[in-house]
Amino acid sequence: MTTQDYATYIAGLPRVLAGAAALFRDAEGRVLLVEPNYREGWALPGGTVESDSGETPRQGARRETLEEIGLDVPLGRLLAVDWVPPGPLHPRPPLVAYLYDGGVLDAEQLKSIRLQEEELLSWRLVAREEVAGLLLGATARRVEAALDALARGDGPAELEDGHRVG
């Protein structure tokens, strides 16, 4: 295969997006959520991995956390990886979502949270029972699977649209 043939082959492959987020908790086990100003519902600190620059999912989650809430925290282990297909509500390519353990934030870290005003309206800590009512679809299921992985000390959870597989 020539270089030209290979380039044509690569250009014809399907595209997949990569997203990465961090799961932060407080000492009571509540989950930190952020409220975006550009869509309905709540989210975790995180966003799209900038793969064109060579960024990895872990680096993307840490960068997004710093940008969105002003915390530069080394991330722990991978808790979940989720294949999210496009659907009627998602006019985009498939997404692979990585969710990392952000750890337990102490009172000083919580006080130092500074929101990225261009993207976020507010933040809050929520009990596990509230997660499904605030996060949409696969994201809620992804967080619940990650919390289960933390509680059991296993993982990462392999998910498809937020549902455990394997």
pLDDT in tens, 81-107: 999 998 776 678 899 999 999 999 999
Q: Which pair of structure tokens corresponds to residue 63?
A: 């960068």
Is the confidence at residue 31, as pLDDT, over 90? Answer: yes
pLDDT band at 23 (very low <50, low <70, confident <90, very high): very high
pLDDT of residue 24: 98
What would the 3-class secondary structure string for the chain be?
Answer: CCHHHHHHHHHCCCCCEEEEEEEEECCCCCEEEEEECCCCCCECCEEECCHHHCCCHHHHHHHHHHHHHCCCCCCCCEEEEEEECCECCECCCCEEEEEEEEEECCHHHHHCCCCCCCCEEEEEEECHHHHHHHCCHHHHHHHHHHHHHHHHCCCCEEEECCEECC
> Residues 53-82: pLDDT tens digits?
999 999 999 999 999 999 999 999 999 999
CATH 3.90.79.10 fits 16-164, yes or no: yes
Total-model pTM: 0.92
Give Rg (Cα) of the chain: 17
Structural contact between residues 22 and 75, judged by C-beta atoms closer than 8 angstroms: yes
- pLDDT at position 71 is 97
Q: Is the peptide bond preceding residue 156 cis, with omega within 30 degrees of 0? A: yes
How confident is the model over 111-160, as pLDDT tens digits?
A: 999 999 999 999 999 999 999 999 988 999 999 999 999 999 998 999 99
Report d(CA 34, CA 90) in Å as an integer. 20
